[in-house]
Amino acid sequence: MEKRSNGLAEIEKWVGTIKSSSDKILDRVGVTRRALEKQVEVLRDRIADVQDALGTTAD
């Protein structure tokens, strides 16, 4: 029983490591997503500026 208990403790430690790592990954995804959304917004604004300058519109 003691051996199995130690095995569970080891598994619990692994789970903690996985959770910590996945939280870090999710945080990084959020940061990257927000940055990309800002870049897309700027790009859309610049495209609209070019279209205005050329007298064209997007379809």
Q: What pLDDT, on a 0 to 100 scale, did the predictor assign at position 47?
A: 97
| 15 φ/ψ angles, rounded to the nearest 5 degrees | -60, -40
Integer angstrom CA distances of residue 28 from 17, 22, 47: 17, 10, 28
pTM over 0.75: no
Q: What pLDDT, on a 0 to 100 scale, did the predictor assign at position 3?
A: 79
Q: What is the pLDDT of residues 3-59, one digit of tens each?
A: 788 899 999 999 999 999 999 999 999 999 999 999 999 999 999 999 999 998 666
